[in-house]
Amino acid sequence: MQKIIRIGTRESELALWQANKVRKELAELGYESVLVPIKSTGDIVLDKPLYELGITGVFTKNLDIAMLNGDIDIAVHSLKDVPTALPEGIVQAAVLKRANYNDILVLNGTEEFFGEPNGVIATGSLRRKAMWLNRYPTHQVVSLRGNVNTRLEKVENNDWNGAVFAAAGLERIGKRPAGAVNLPWMIPAPAQGVIMIAALENDEYTRDACEQLNHPETEICAGIEREFLRLLEGGCSAPIGALAYIDDKTEEINFKGVLLTTDGSKKISVAKTAKKGSHEYLAKDCVDYIVNRGGKELMIADGAVSQTKHEIYSTKKLSEAQKKMLDDSIGIKDSDFIKIRFNRIPAKLMKHTHENVVITSQNGVEAILNSFTKDEINFKNIYCVGRRTKKLIENRIGKVAYAAKNASKLAEYISKETSIKKLSYFCSDLRLDDLPAYLQAHGIVVEEVEAYKTMLSSVKIDDAVSGVLFYSPSGIDSYLKENSTNKIAFCIGETTAVAARKHFEKVQVAYMPDVESVLEMVNQHYLEE
């Protein structure tokens, strides 16, 4: 026996029209269906709370719950009302061919008020309000709520000059007034004019049926618009407009988007094109354009986006330039968890040439230069760790024979790629055993010179901090004296990461062993959450 597809719908005239359209199109394909009007969530019981299922959306929530509860098989929505993230277990099964995407003005009188300073317009949409005030800043915009019929009645019964509606809604139920004015300058809401069908992800029969109703061009364009909305972090609280359409002659997708303040005083617009099939990054490119021109700051200042900060802590003092590398959503505090005191290296050590020298940090370089001038230093072959250390050595001491990414790789290189039998290692009193132990195990004599002392200087950090930046194993040792390990350890290199993994569950390693790479890693982590 063939399954009867239960179509969930709200009970408004427009919602019923949309549901009946889907029912008719399914019938033409040979599928039997029935409408199931959904009133409220009061007597619907779910095993999980709504927030765990990701159920949001004023106009879609009841239908989502009914579907997850097994009361309906599909839900029919105006796609512009659907949150960009669907609840767990629910998918977009199809979109129908797009209808009129424009906004229109239903007049209560004549158009003469356009040129007057005291016009009054009604709408319940922040986007429409913002765009109207941007164009007519002296006008007043009043709130208008309710279904289509209710709003039309309110226009007749008030002394407003008019109200803004979606053209598709009025046209679908045959109630577009003859004198309604098109507003082509008003960029529509993302996916305006599109009917969407939602279904359960695991209901293959229903999804197969709905797939046959899908209109590919509408799916592409509406998808770009909604991705633009999602990436801008917009929703009901942010005035965002977006429109994508395909030029049949050129096969190009044309996109235009806009972000405004709620009072319409500020606006950032974007318009770009992309070849159909090469449009994957069109929405992102447009969002980047708006963000780079102050879009995020505009939303924050307007209260549309909360300025939620991720708090991190650096176990080494950072420069202001380095701090500015972090995204505005990331707050940082810093202090030196490691303090360095240079030792006075005996002069007799420089009376003879050091054939092979190992230096594993910039502190080692500075310690040597604290005791000797460049002319007093007699190093023939210098091996080091890190490009910053290499640069410092070559600027102030001499040429570097080889630089490795970390101490372990340096030890491996020296033992396998050179014929060195003896070397001098300028190091701290607190150093890892990995390098000297590896070299000694391979028959290389290591003469250690304690060039500087490392003193632990731990600070108790706030519980709100979610990530800590580490630059050495000693920094980790210092941190652990006062703090817990229930945070992310962002490490400058693999040697530091090895030490971190002994204590931290979450450890990330920079792709290059320098501070800038650590900061880039932090940005990437928090911005991709």
pLDDT of residue 229: 92
How does 230-248 read in b/e, with b if 16+ C-beta sit within 10 Å?
bbbbbbeebbbbbbbbbee
Helix (H, G, I), strand (E, B) or coil at 35: strand
Give the Cα separation of 272 and 277 in Å (integer). 15
CATH topology of domain 310-337+457-527: Rossmann fold (3.40.50)
- CATH 3.40.50.10090 range(s) for the chain read 310-337+457-527, 339-456
- Helix 13-28 to helix 148-156 angle (10° resolution) is 140
pLDDT of residue 305: 58
CATH topology of domain 103-182: D-Maltodextrin-Binding Protein; domain 2 (3.40.190)
CATH topology of domain 215-305: Double Stranded RNA Binding Domain (3.30.160)
State the number of CA atoms in the 13 A half-sphere of 515 facing the CB: 17
Q: What is the DSSP string of 90-133?
A: EEEEEEPPP----EEEEESS-GGGGGSTT-EEE-S-HHHHHHHH
Q: Name the active-site residue from 43, 47, 71, 81.
A: 81
Contacts of residue 98, defined as CB under 8 A and 6 or more positions apart, other chains included, come to 193, 194, 215, 218, 221, 222
pLDDT of residue 46: 40
Give the Cα separation of 311 and 333 in Å (integer). 8
| CA torsion angle 487 493 494 496 (round to 10) | -60
- CATH 3.40.190.10 range(s) for the chain read 1-95+190-214, 103-182
pTM above 0.85, yes or no: no
Nearest Cα to 106, choosing from 162, 169, 161, 173? 162
How does 301-319 read in b/e, with b if 16+ C-beta sit within 10 Å?
ebebbeeeebebbbbbebe
Q: What is residue 265's DSSP assignment?
A: S
Query: Residue 327 catalytic?
Result: no
What CATH number was assigned to the domain covering residues 339-456?
3.40.50.10090
Q: Does domain 1-95+190-214 have CATH number 3.30.390.50?
A: no
Residue with tokens 């460049």: 374
Per-block average pLDDT, block size 10, for the chain (529 residues)? 89 92 96 86 37 44 83 94 83 96 93 89 91 95 85 91 95 93 95 96 94 97 95 72 95 96 94 94 94 87 66 92 82 91 90 92 93 92 92 94 90 94 92 87 94 90 93 92 95 91 94 85 79
- CATH 3.30.160.40 range(s) for the chain read 215-305
What's the burial of 82, exposed, middle or buried (CB within 10 Å: 0-12/13-18/19+)? Answer: buried
Q: What is the CA radius of gyration of the chain?
A: 33
